[in-house]
Chains A and B, each alone.
Chain A
Amino acid sequence: MKKFVFDACSLIYLTKIQLKEKLPLLGEIIVSLTVKNELLADVEKFREVKTLKKNINKKLIKENKSNIENIFSSKKLGKGEKETIEICLKVKGIPVTDDHKALNFALSLGLKPKTSEVIILDLFKENIINYQEFKLFLKELAVIKALKPEILSLFKNKAKEIINNIKKNKK
């Protein structure tokens, strides 16, 4: 089973667009203690915190159990992002981050990070959501993240490639 280690912002975005329930169908969802605390902050102010809390209690989002040694000292990343990457190195996990700095740091260490957009595409690829749902979730994410049109087009084209491959394989 794949292990997805999420940082806080990706999980918040996917919770905001109400896609989080489908994530365990892709693999195990792991967060570090710092990320868990970040997710649960401001419970009175943000509706999605309650949803996240419920999912943590139900163990749909699991807290990392491996020892964190704080091996990274970068002042450009947050504590949760550094822990997320450290866990991935330890458990051979897939980091999920929606941040440029964190993503490139993970890449420099040989990890294969994903973003919320890629997770939506994976859900479509794995037939967990259909094309209409894919378009809807991507559209909602684009609004929240103020995604640039070229990024939106890239993902729409990737989804079309998947559809074309399915058609080819059927022939």
Chain B
Amino acid sequence: MTKQMNLRLEEDLIKEFEELAKEENLDRSALVRKILLEGLQQERLNFALQKYMLKEISIERAAEIAKISIHEIILKISQLGISSNLTLDDFEKIL
């Protein structure tokens, strides 16, 4: 089910959407939907990784927020070179 959402955009931005839609052979709405979806997924991931790096949430919670599997988030963390959020202090507590 779809719902209508009204959005005010700059004229230049609308023009850019129209240009790209023409290039990609898509109608303007389809292109905007596609970009919104991709942007939303990326934003979820960025937000989750930021919270993880700040030690505000766990790795599994980050996967839940990003709506990806734990395998996927481990891969993303590794690809981005993000260090494990465990600290020297954590290890000293358990060793």
A residues within 8 Å of B by Cβ? 7-9, 12-13, 38-39, 41-42, 45-46, 48-49, 75-81, 98-104, 107, 112-115, 117-118, 121, 144-148, 150-151, 154-155, 158
Contacts and interface: CB of A to CB of B under 8 A. Distances in A.
A107 B94 contact: yes
5 contacts: A12-B74, A42-B72, A45-B72, A99-B60, A103-B90
Contacts, number: 119
Interface string B63-95: 110000111101101100111111110111111
A151 B74 CA distance: 19
Interface of B: 55-61, 63-64, 69-72, 74-75, 77-78, 81-88, 90-95
Q: Considering the complex of A and B, which 5 residue pairs feature the smallest CB-CB distances, nearest first?
A: A78-B60, A101-B58, A41-B69, A100-B85, A145-B84
A118 B60 contact: no
Which of A112, A114, A118, A146 has most chain B Cβ within 10 Å? A146
Contact of A100 (B60, B72, B77, B87): B87
B71 A42 contact: yes
Contacts of B95: 118, 121, 154, 158
A154 B77 CA distance: 23
A101 B55 contact: yes
Contact of B71 (A45, A79, A144, A148): A45
A98 B59 contact: yes
Contacts of A145: 78, 83-84
Contact of A38 (B60, B84, B90, B93): B60
Given A75-B57, A77-B58, A100-B55, 13 more contacts: A9-B70, A39-B70, A46-B75, A76-B57, A78-B61, A80-B70, A81-B58, A99-B86, A100-B86, A102-B60, A146-B82, A151-B91, A155-B91
A8 B72 CA distance: 12
A41 B69 CA distance: 7
A150 B83 CA distance: 12
Contacts of B60: 7-9, 38, 77-81, 99, 102
A103 B91 CA distance: 10
A87 to B, nearest CB: 15
Contacts of B83: 145-148
